[in-house]
Structure 1
Amino acid sequence: MATHHHAEPQGADLAVAAQATLERSGEQWTAMRAQIFRALAGFDKPASAYDIAEAVSKAEGRRVAANSVYRILDLFVGANLARRVESSNAYIANAHPDCLHDCIFLVCDSCGQTTHLDDDRITKGVRSAAEAAGFSPVRPVIEVRGKCAHCG
């Protein structure tokens, strides 16, 4: 498999990397954005905007609207801080926000666990096929639905 490797910060280090990436893109790292990123990174599988709004509401002691969370998640996806799992309409924190590349998600239909793979050979093939069809790919989304090793 043609993979590439990079550091994958966790916890506070991931938040620092996310903040630096967002600020390099010209955006501010506000307290609300920090709370939403912290909540997103705290989930062990993809989370919906409603899941994140509930987690932030509990942490803040006040109601946070899901539409506000959606706006920030859209910003995070655009800045490479989060990835959207299209088939689940859910999000995961990008474990390496400073590395822009295509990725593949393996989504378990039983437990919802989602595994992120980097395989440049496959994503390059998808890009090449799109270009051969006269299409200019921006960011391919590849999701494979099935059962994880634990549920299989």
Structure 2
Amino acid sequence: MAHDHHEPEGTDLHDAARATLERSGEQWTAMRASVYAALSGFAKPASAYDIAEAVSREQGRRIAANSIYRILDLFVGANLARRVESANAYVANAHPACRHDCIFLVCDGCGETTHLDDDTLTAGVRAAATAAGFAPERPVIEVRGRCARCAIAN
């Protein structure tokens, strides 16, 4: 079953991210706002180094990737970002107020990453893990392949 929800964009997305982070008991600092703005500005998953470079340009000073990793870890924990494990990269969560598992379709040709919500599939993964005596916390489902555009090009 697909998961339906409103996906804010632009300023509304940043406002939703800020509200979600503050509800989790964390502060929305200027640096966190800059990192979120950079992350949400990428069309494809971005590495901490990509984000550090973007924030460094925006602020006119060098920002270390280690600082970005700490903020990204906080964002993942607060549901503001998702980590694309196989690419060691991050995407802004388009619906930060909604907690659910994600499925990523990652194109090996162009790097485009599509996010799917399918509660039935992820519930099955959680049930299988539980049946095996494992307490699942965060299923990671990624499908590598070729997007429609790259499939046609080959």
With normalisation by structure 2, the TM-score equals 0.97
Q: Equivalents in 1 of 2:127, 2:12: separation in Å?
A: 35
The alpha-carbon deviation at position 83 of structure 1 amounts to 0.2
Superposed, which structure 2 residues align to 1:69-108 within 5 Å?
Answer: 69-108=68-107
**Partner secondary structure for residue 149 of structure 2:** coil
In structure 1, what is the Cα distance between the partners aligned to 2:44 and 2:3? 23
Match of 1:20 in 2: 19
Residue 139 (structure 1) shift: 1.1
Aligned length: 151
Deviation at 1:4, TM superposition (A): 1.5
Report what 2:116 is aligned to.
Answer: 117
State whether structure 2 residue 133 is matched by structure 1 residue 134.
Answer: yes
Q: Does 1:145 align with 2:144?
A: yes
Deviation at 1:33, TM superposition (A): 0.1
The one-letter code matched in structure 1 to 2:68 is: V
CA distance in 2, matches of 1:48, 1:125: 30
- Structure 1 outlier segments of 4+, above 3 Å: none
Q: Aligned equivalents of 1:149 and 1:60: distance in 2?
A: 37
Letter of the 1:55 counterpart:
A
Return 5+ residue gaps in structure 1 as ranges: none
Q: State the AA in 1 paired with 2:33.
A: A
1:59 is aligned to 58
Within 2, Cα distance between the matches of 1:43 and 1:150?
19
Unaligned runs of 5+ in 2: none
Specify the code of the residue in structure 2 equivalent to 1:51. D
Distance 2:88 2:73 in 1: 12
Aligned-residue offset at 1:30: 0.1
**What is the TM-score of this pair, normalised by structure 1?**
0.98
Q: Distance in 2 between matches of 1:60 and 1:151?
A: 36
Structural RMSD (CA): 0.4
Residue identity opposite 1:117 in structure 2: L
